A and B are shown apart, each in its own frame.
Chain A
Amino acid sequence: MKNKAEAVIIGGGISGCSIAYNLAKKGLKDIVVLEKNYICSGSTGRCGAGVRMQWGTEMNCKIAKKSIEFYENANEILEYERDVEFKQKGYLLVAATDHEVDQFKKNIEVQHSCGIPSRMLTLKEAREIVPYLNTDVLKGAAFCPRDGFLNPFHTTDAFYRAAKRLGVEFNTYTEATGIKIEKGRVTGVETNKGFISTNIVVNAANAYGKSICDMVGLDVPIYSERHQILVSEPVEPMQDPMVMAFGLNFYIQQSPEGTFIMGRGDENEPRDLRVTSSWHFLEEMAKTIEMVLPPIAKLRVIRQWAGLYNMTPDKQPIYDEAEDVKGFYFALGFSGHGFMFGPITGIAMSEMILKENPTIDVSMLNLNRFKTGKLLMEPSVV
């Protein structure tokens, strides 16, 4: 492991790998990534493998759109020898109440102002896309054809390999244990394998990011929350889009291998770092699916797992540099959509660190917004 670096990135998920890749591509030398387990072992590797442009805030829409445009060409841009498996068959969002339908309409106005090709659908049109959808329990639907499935392991691996080819040093099973500060500036990172002196540290540890902020005395209003997922046996292709509902609280999509991946949120989930599975989740998920998509209930569950959302009060990420600790940057609080924002996280953070003009102005996603209280809430998260 190097003992001196121009930048040290903490976290080997999609964010850390994308930030490392972008910094290296812009010519920064001696970049070191620290990952306490293995690449993609945290939230990225546990996510629902969906990417969508259909968001409710302008910032989330802009970041998601640009990120998906990148993902459409990720195999070529990152020169990936495998395939990121982008199945771009859309997200069908379904509403169970009139209030939700109104929210969809508001969201679509924001989406259209950002150039996102989403639209409201009648329930009949929704059934044309997913014929077994039980529209008796629904009031309306929205659709965007450019959303879809993306393999989180291969996508992160693509960034990882591209960054490695550009000379980035990845240290897996290496944990950051402390950050050294001198005169209000970062001067190094202590790890379980030795000290690295550096003037730039990027906290991309998402679910574990709060403890990294604690090391420099930075208070961030984020917490981690368990979210669970299950996967079915593989079957022949039968469902094109992701089907997602906020009120009914679920998402479900068929992966390219034929398995169905589904999950739901639960506001009573523990706010800690556990990633164990629960029977309660299986039951609630099964009951919801049987009601909304009856034929899917005939499939067998073969595995369930859990991952962590790192939540912020407005469900939008934080991209910033600490005011009182120069050189300490953080990309945190992705609130369940860090994977789909990966490309822009890398671009935005590298531009912030290298003081370049921003591709997308993400300055409103600063830490201070929580103090001033001027929050734009993202309404559409499962």
Chain B
Amino acid sequence: MDENTIICRCSDVTLKEIRELISQGYQTFDEIKRITRAGMGPCQGKTCGYLIMREIANATGKNMQDIKFQTNRPPVVGVKLGLIAEEGRNEE
């Protein structure tokens, strides 16, 4: 695959960048996330997650099921702050 392929579409991270980091010892999804922001964008790693985990598995010889993904954080999809505030006031 072309190494300039964008792996994380939220933060424009290329396959090349991911492979370089893995070779430098950043070998968990969380570590790669903290350097590149892959997984921190609006999709929360729904696109890049498996791609990055597969790269880690390939480079380290581990099985995919042994590679840990990031913590899933709320909300599942983006919600406007104003809506949350309104909902909060309705409950009062």
Contacts and interface: CB of A to CB of B under 8 A. Distances in A.
Interface residues of A, number: 34
16 contacts: A38-B30, A39-B31, A231-B40, A277-B74, A282-B75, A283-B88, A284-B88, A297-B80, A297-B85, A298-B80, A298-B82, A299-B81, A300-B42, A302-B44, A304-B75, A305-B71
Interface stretch (A214-222, A285-293, A331-339): A285-293
Contacts of A279: 74
B32 to A, nearest CB: 10
Given A40-B34, A257-B11, A257-B37, A300 B79 contact: yes
Interface in A1-55: 38-41, 45
A155 to B, nearest CB: 11
Given A296-B81, A299-B80, A301-B75, A283 B40 contact: no
A232 B73 contact: no
A326 interface: no
A268 B31 CA distance: 32
A257 B89 CA distance: 31
Contacts of A290: 81-82, 85
Nearest to A275: B71
A90 B33 CA distance: 27
A154 B35 contact: yes
Which are the 6 A-B pairs with shortest beta-carbon distances?
A300-B78, A283-B88, A297-B82, A286-B85, A286-B84, A153-B34
Contacts of A82: 35
A45 B84 CA distance: 26
Nearest to B79: A301
A303 B78 CA distance: 8
Contacts of A157: 34-35
Interface in A284-329: 284-287, 289-290, 296-305
Nearest to B37: A257
Contacts of B40: 231, 303
B28 interface: yes
A257 B38 CA distance: 13
Contacts of B78: 233, 300-302
B87 interface: yes
Given A38-B31, A282-B84, 19 more contacts: A157-B34, A234-B41, A257-B37, A277-B74, A285-B81, A286-B81, A286-B84, A287-B88, A289-B81, A290-B85, A298-B80, A298-B82, A300-B81, A301-B78, A301-B79, A303-B73, A303-B74, A304-B73, A304-B75
Nearest to A38: B31
B31 A303 contact: no
A299 B31 CA distance: 28
B87 A305 contact: no
Contact of A287 (B37, B75, B89): B89
